[in-house]
């Protein structure tokens, strides 16, 4: 998972400092997510998935499909409209 976070950031030519600023946190704090020193809070995972246009499952290495789930898939899983 941590390598995927780094790869996504580097693919967009972003420094840890720049991404940390986007997330509203310190570079040191973000760096600890990429190295696995700290667990990533759900709120940060949501922000990262939205920023990268991917799913949280992809960020967590639960799937190799980077595209987010279609809205209809979400409705079926949650039962919401």
Prediction pTM value: 0.78
How crowded is the C-beta side of 14, counted as CA atoms within 13 Å? 20
Domain of 46, CATH number, reads 1.10.260.40
Domain assignment of residue 20, given as a range: 2-78
Q: Please, are residues 81 and 75 in contact by the beta-carbon 8 Å criterion?
A: yes
Digit-by-digit pLDDT tens for the chain (81 residues) are: 789 999 999 999 999 999 999 999 999 999 999 999 999 999 999 999 999 999 999 999 988 877 776 665 444 555 555
* Total number of domains constituting the chain: 1
pLDDT score for 74: 47
**CA neighbor of 4 nearest in space, from 69, 68, 55:** 55
């Amino acid at each position: 998972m941590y390598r995927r976070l780094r790869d996504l950031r580097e693919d967009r030519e972003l420094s840890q400092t720049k991404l940390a600023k986007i997330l509203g946190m310190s570079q040191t704090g973000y760096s600890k997510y990429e190295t696995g020193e700290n667990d990533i809070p759900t709120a940060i995972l949501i922000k990262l998935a939205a920023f990268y246009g991917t799913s949280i499952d992809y960020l967590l290495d639960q799937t190799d499909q980077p595209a987010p789930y279609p809205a209809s898939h979400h409705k079926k899983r949650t039962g919401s409209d």
